[in-house]
Structures are given as C-alpha cells and as structure tokens.
C-alpha cells in the first residue's frame, strides 16, 4: 500500500485511531459562542470525511471566570455549548474519525471584566504564575487555591466534552498559554511548589492531565501540546522542551510538539510566522524539534506539526522515528481530502497549502476560514446546494488564468461543452511569472495541477487565441465568461522608458536583468515579494512607497509575514517616499526630509494593476449569458478568482 507507516493505526490511551494523520486544532468564530452553525461544523466534518484520524476543535476556554481573552470564547466549563458540542462530535464520529477538543486558558493574557452573553463577566482581576504587566493590565500572582480551582476547571471542561461525545482532549500547554507560562522560568518566578525547578514548573500541567484522567477515566486520551522550543534568541531550547516532555511521560497519552512563545523577548515579533510557518519558511520546518523530543522519550508517542502537506514527507517522518503522528492544520483547510488522496495513490491531485495566511486572516476579520486555493472551504453547504441539475450549454471562457481555469474545470464537470481561449501560449495567467520563485513553489504546483486537469479533460483549449467580438459571436456560445484579468500599471514618470527600467513581471521571469542593486517602486505584494526573491539571489533591493504603510487588504497576516521577513533580512521599506524621476543611475524621490536619490543599476515598477474591463465589456453581447470574473472587474486576489470561477460556472444552465 501507499505510505504504510502513515496509514498504520495507532493506539492513544485506550482508543485506536485509523491512521497517523490528525487534523490540528483550529477554532471557528461561528462556534465560539456555542452556536456551532451548520456551516462551521461542515468545515470540520469535511476533514473527517477526507480521512483524518482525529479532528480537533481549537481555542476553547476552560474557565469563564478567570480565563478569557474575548467574550465569544467557547465556555467549556459551563453547559452553554452542550448541544453544539454534541452536534460537532456526531459530525466527526459518524465518518470514523475521533473528535477532540483543545482546552485553553490564557492565564496572564486574559482580559478582565469581559462579558460572555448568557454567562456574565469574567473577574476584575487577571492571574498568572507571577505578577507582571501585560498590555497595560496588572497581572497578579495566582494564589494556590485559584491554581487548584483552574485545574478542576480543566477536568470539568474535559468531562463536558466527553459527555457530548468527544473521544479525546488536547491540553494546550504551549504558545504562551497558562501551562506554558508556568513551565517557562522567565514568566514563572514563584518560590513555592509551583515554581523554581523544572519539576515544580511542570507540576501545573501534570496535575491538569491527572485531573482529567480522574474525571474521564484512565483510557480517555489526553494529548498535551507543548512549545518544544521558543526558537528565538533568549527563549528556552528544544532540550528544555524535551526535559518538560519527559516529566509528562506516564501522564500524557500523546505529546504534540509545536514551537514558539517569546513573551518579553526582543525577537517575539517572529513568533507567529514560526509557530504557524509562513510561505517563506521551508516545508516541515519545525519537525526537527519533535525529533529532539522524541529522542528523549521512552514510550509516549510524539506528534509533529507545522508546514506539512506532502504525504511522502509525512511517511518519512514516521518511518524514520522522528515522530509517531503528524498533525496538519492549514493543509487540511486547503485540501481536506489529503489523507484519502494519499492512501489512494492520488498524490498528484493533492492541493498543497501555500501558507499565505489568507484563511487565518479571514477567520479573524470576517469569521470564515476561506482558502485562496480551495473555494469549497467554509462554503461546503452553499456550494453543495448550488450543484443542482443543469441543462448542458456551450460555454466560452475568455482567459486561462486562475479564475478562467477554475470556471472551465467546474463547467466541464457539470456537463457543459467548454471552450477555453487563452491569449498566451500557456494556461495559468500572468502569475506564471513567479514560477521560479522558491517560496511560491506550492502556487506553481497548483497552477500545474489545474492546467493538467484541463489538458486531460474534454475541454477545448485554444492557446495563442485573442477573442474578439467577431470571434466570440462566431462560436455561438450560450454563455460567455470574461476572465481576462488585469495588466500592470506603468507609472507616468520621466525616465520610465529608460533601458534600466522594467516591470516586475519581466524581472520575475528574468531576475538576471538586475545586476546588483535595484530600486522597486511600490510596496504592495508584488513589489515586496520581488524584493525578497532578489535578496535570496544575492541581489540588493530597495523598496520605496508613497503611502504611509503596507495595506493589509484581505490578508493582514500575510502582510505581517512579509514585514517579519524584511526585518529578519535587514531590509527596509521607505514609506512616504514618492518617485519623481528616473535616470540611468537610480531614482529621485520626494521624502519628508526633502528630495532624496536612490542609486540603482535597475529600476522596477510594481505600482498596481489595471483591469482589462474595456476588453471584457466588448464581449457583453456575444452570447446569451455574460459573466465578468476576477481581475477584469477590479484587480483582487487568487481567492476571489477561484471563488467566482467556481460559483459562476455552477450558475450556468441551472434548471
């Protein structure tokens, strides 16, 4: 069989699960108040259907009195979420997977006087292992009676989950939450039995696990997630994390080895992109730390997590003894069918997460974990309803970029006759210019995958074909989808047509156009990622931007990841800097300090895109139905193109 180690069942506590792929904990805003909407449950159920052995719901509070950051946090120590928990557990269990719940306490990161509707307010005081100040809030040292009260809250919360049908819980003892605060000597300065030696600092976590086993039974699996290392300078090491894990042996049934924390350290700004690896870090970047912990253990299984989506890598992790289990978060948001595809030998059909943070950013800002590459994610119910019987139609799609390819595949799957015309010589659109960029390798894989699906289907693909109104009318389509995209804006500046000036797309395709030093006009996604790419090639890139800051758009965490990379690489974005003219030696610009000259052998413009809306609108009367898709409406993003491409195609021919 494919990947025999990955798909070997494993026993955790008294429960045997079907394979070694666990869906890592992810919360959902719709569930946090205990509502557990059908849309939210469908996100997790899809992972169970896709073959994950355990599906874990994340970020749920065990203490509505002392332990909430937000009023919407799920209150597991009450009966409020009882019905929602039962619905969730049933949705996962009925597909043969085990439902699990992450138990979380913010500790010194809690917010006082926070209201939870239907429950009331948190206490006016915040407790942590030791007294400190966090975000202007005074944190008091936790009295011992409160310590025992909170330990009991963990047990109550676990029992409530068990009663609702959950087969397992995860105690979050990493990422700076309360057990991690107790474990870390930097934040735990106590001199009693809960502080001092590592044995004392680990006591809080051990007592939690033992209390849960006492409440739920010794065979009820208790997983403990730890930060096996803080990674950054000044933080504790993987050897420290391994020593902590050794103390959990005989108590925890599984130890989940994540990374990160960093409270009070100068490099803490890096933590988010290390704990949740961004696209600029290699695949499986944190697995080695799980291996260090594993090497210190006698019998407790270890799971690895972070930037995993390749079943071959997962198989090697387990076969080599680096870890016993792999946990996948965003990889199963992007493709919840990953386990089934891997077991079936359909690896080439797996859509690999490109770790762009679009899902997390939208979860925070809009309450839905939408995915840039998978338009079905968090739309499972809506798109299922949209798949109604159709009357087959002839569909002309103009433009073979991301949106056009998605529309073509969906329309063909729906039984339509599809003609896909692309002006260039290859499918994928202008974003193909980034094919050589190492940190965009999963995007390239996705484009290649979509192209392969189309070329192996019955879709009539016409490359090097510019569609005019006359050409479109001659085809006689029932529906026309204009997916022409957008083109780069060329700024109107003196010297813009100089021999040393190029558009960003040209440089992505041929980075050798830059000798040593480049100035990039524009600090959007295109310009800043190009700067990082050039830096990786040993070239220097200075970015100038007339605005005050980078605009987050739909992906605030993606922008944050770029900013982290710039800091790590010692690079700078010159904001409030407006280019005024270009000469053969560089760029003149207006700054707050006056005119400044930025020397460079190459000048690159990346100042935005202009929708090809006029070209698209010229086709509006060339078929019975007319649709605009993606950037030719207004320049947007990959997620928007994929979403529109799928749903527009589903609209065609509906009865």
Per-residue confidence at 139, pLDDT binned at 50, 70, 90?
very high
Give the mean pLDDT of 551-568. Answer: 91
So what's the pLDDT on residue 396? 98
Per-residue confidence at 558, pLDDT binned at 50, 70, 90?
very high
So what's the pLDDT on residue 389? 82
* Tens digits of residue pLDDT in 382-425: 998 888 888 999 999 999 999 999 999 999 999 999 999 999 99
**CA neighbours within 13 Å on the CB side: how many for 234?**
12
So what's the pLDDT on residue 319? 98
Give the mean pLDDT of 198-221. Answer: 98
- For residue 81, pLDDT over 80 is answered with yes
So what's the pLDDT on residue 35? 79
- For residue 358, pLDDT over 80 is answered with yes
Give the mean pLDDT of 571-579. Answer: 96
Q: Is 85 exposed, middle or buried (0-12, 13-18, 19+ CB in 10 A)?
A: buried
> Residue 179 is encoded by which pair of tokens?
């057990």
Which residues, at least 6 apart from 406, have a Cβ–Cβ distance to it below 8 Å?
A: 375, 450, 641, 642, 645, 646, 649
- Name the residue ranges covered by the structural domains of the chain: 10-381, 387-487+610-651, 501-607
- For residue 155, pLDDT over 80 is answered with yes
Q: Determine which of 174-188, 296-310, 412-426, 540-554 has the lowest per-residue pLDDT on average.
A: 540-554
Q: Give the CATH H-level superfamily of domain 10-381.
A: Aldolase class I (3.20.20.70)
Q: Is the dihedral of CA 350, 362, 327, 266 positive or negative?
A: positive
Strand partners, 169: 101, 222
> Residue 64 is encoded by which pair of tokens?
């509505």
So what's the pLDDT on residue 549? 92
Give the mean pLDDT of 623-628. Answer: 96
So what's the pLDDT on residue 70? 84
pTM: 0.95
CA dist., res. 311 & res. 563, Å (int) = 31
The CATH code for residues 501-607 is 3.50.50.60
Phi, psi of 421 (to 5 degrees): -105, 135
- For residue 331, pLDDT over 90 is answered with yes
For the beta carbon of residue 176, count every other beta carbon within 10 angstroms.
23
SS3 call for 137: strand
* Tens digits of residue pLDDT in 94-110: 999 999 999 999 999 99
Q: Determine which of 217-221, 262-266, 432-436 has the lowest per-residue pLDDT on average.
A: 262-266
Give the mean pLDDT of 167-173. Answer: 98
Q: In 453-558, where do the E strands start and end?
A: 460-462, 479-482, 486-488, 501-503, 517-521, 540-544
* Contact (Cβ atoms closer than 8 angstroms) between residue 481 and residue 629: yes
- For residue 73, pLDDT over 90 is answered with no
So what's the pLDDT on residue 627? 97
Per-residue confidence at 567, pLDDT binned at 50, 70, 90?
very high
So what's the pLDDT on residue 299? 95
So what's the pLDDT on residue 1? 85
Instruction: Single out the residue of 427, 431, 550 nearest to residue 486, CA to CA.
Output: 431
Per-residue confidence at 367, pLDDT binned at 50, 70, 90?
confident
- For residue 427, pLDDT over 90 is answered with yes
So what's the pLDDT on residue 370? 94
* Contact (Cβ atoms closer than 8 angstroms) between residue 396 and residue 481: yes
* Tens digits of residue pLDDT in 27-72: 888 887 777 899 999 999 999 999 999 999 998 999 999 999 887 8
**Helix, strand counts (H, E) of the chain:** 22, 30
Dihedral, CA of residue 480, residue 485, residue 486 and residue 487, to nearest 10: -110
SS3 per residue for 213-236: HHHHCCCCCEEEEEECCCCCCCCC
User: Do the two domains 10-381 and 501-607 of this chain adopt the same fold?
Assistant: no
Give the mean pLDDT of 458-471. Answer: 97
Instruction: Single out the residue of 164, 173, 229 nearest to residue 203, CA to CA.
Output: 173
So what's the pLDDT on residue 369? 87
* Tens digits of residue pLDDT in 576-619: 999 999 999 999 999 999 999 999 999 999 999 999 999 999 99
Q: Give the CATH H-level superfamily of domain 387-487+610-651.
A: NAD(P)-binding Rossmann-like Domain (3.40.50.720)
Per cent of the chain over pLDDT 70 is 100
> Residue 48 is encoded by which pair of tokens?
């169970």
DSSP letter at 392 equals: -
Residue keyed to tokens 């730890």: 226
Q: Which helix (H) or strand (E) holds 638?
A: helix 638-651
Phi, psi of 591 (to 5 degrees): -125, 175
């Amino acid at each position: 069989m494919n990947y025999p180690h990955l798909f070997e069942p494993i026993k955790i506590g008294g429960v045997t699960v079907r394979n070694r792929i666990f869906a890592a904990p992810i919360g959902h805003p719709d569930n946090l108040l205990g509502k557990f909407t059908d849309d939210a449950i469908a996100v997790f159920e899809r992972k169970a259907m896709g073959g994950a052995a355990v599906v874990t719901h994340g970020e749920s509070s065990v203490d509505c009195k002392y332990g909430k950051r937000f009023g919407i946090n799920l209150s597991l120590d009450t009966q409020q979420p009882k019905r929602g928990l039962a619905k969730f557990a049933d949705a996962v269990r009925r597909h043969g997977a085990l439902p699990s719940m992450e138990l979380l306490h913010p500790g010194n990161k809690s917010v006082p006087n926070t209201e939870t509707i239907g429950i009331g307010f948190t206490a006016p005081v915040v407790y942590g292992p030791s007294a400190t100040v966090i975000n202007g809030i005074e944190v008091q040292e936790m009295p011992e009676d409160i310590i025992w009260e909170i330990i009991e809250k963990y047990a109550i919360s676990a029992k409530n989950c068990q009663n609702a049908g959950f087969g397992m819980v995860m105690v979050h003892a990493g990422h700076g939450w309360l057990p991690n605060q107790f474990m870390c000597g930097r934040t735990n300065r106590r001199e009693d039995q809960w502080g001092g030696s590592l044995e004392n600092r680990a006591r809080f976590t051990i007592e939690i696990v033992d209390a849960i086993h006492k409440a739920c039974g010794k065979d009820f699996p208790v997983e403990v997630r730890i930060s096996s290392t803080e990674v950054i300078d000044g933080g504790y090491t993987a050897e420290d994390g391994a020593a902590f894990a050794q103390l959990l042996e005989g108590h925890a049934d599984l130890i989940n080895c994540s990374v990160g924390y960093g409270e009070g350290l100068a490099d803490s700004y890096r933590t988010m992109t290390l704990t949740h690896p961004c696209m600029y870090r290699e695949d499986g970047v944190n697995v080695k730390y799980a291996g260090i912990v594993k090497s210190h253990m006698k019998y407790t299984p270890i799971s690895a997590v972070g930037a995993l989506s390749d079943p071959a890598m997962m198989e090697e992790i387990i076969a080599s003894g680096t870890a016993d289990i792999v946990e996948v978060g965003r990889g199963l948001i992007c493709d919840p069918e990953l386990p089934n595809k891997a077991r079936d030998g359909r690896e080439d059909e797996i859509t690999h997460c490109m770790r762009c943070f679009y899902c997390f950013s939208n979860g925070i800002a809009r309450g839905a974990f939408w995915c840039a590459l998978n338009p079905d994610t968090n739309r499972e119910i809506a798109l299922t309803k949209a798949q109604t019987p159709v009357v087959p139609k002839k569909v002309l799609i103009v433009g073979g970029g991301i949106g056009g390819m998605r529309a073509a595949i969906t329309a063909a799957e729906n039984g339509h006759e599809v003609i896909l015309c692309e002006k260039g010589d290859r499918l994928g659109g202008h974003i193909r210019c980034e094919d050589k960029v190492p940190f965009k390798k999963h995007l390239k894989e996705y484009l290649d995958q979509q192209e392969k699906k189309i070329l192996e289907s019955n879709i009539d693909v016409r490359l090097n074909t510019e569609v005019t109104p006359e050409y479109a009318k001659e085809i006689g389509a029932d529906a026309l989808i204009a997916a022409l995209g957008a083109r780069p804006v060329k700024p109107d500046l003196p010297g813009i047509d100089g021999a040393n000036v190029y558009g960003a797309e040209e440089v992505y395709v041929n980075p050798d156009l830059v000798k040593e030093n480049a100035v990039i006009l524009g600090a959007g996604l295109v310009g800043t990622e190009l700067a990082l790419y050039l830096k990786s090639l040993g070239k220097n890139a200075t970015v100038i931007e007339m605005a005050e800051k980078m605009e987050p758009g739909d992906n605030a965490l993606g922008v944050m990841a770029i900013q982290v990379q710039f800091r790590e690489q010692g690079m700078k974005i010159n904001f409030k800097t407006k280019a005024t003219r270009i000469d053969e030696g560089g760029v003149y610009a207006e700054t707050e300090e006056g005119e400044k000259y930025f020397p460079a052998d190459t000048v690159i413009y990346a100042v935005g895109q202009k929708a090809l809306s006029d070209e698209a609108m010229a086709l509006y009367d060339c078929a019975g139905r007319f649709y605009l898709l993606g950037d030719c409406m207004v320049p947007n993003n990959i997620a928007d193109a994929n979403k529109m491409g799928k749903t527009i195609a589903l609209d065609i021919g509906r009865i």
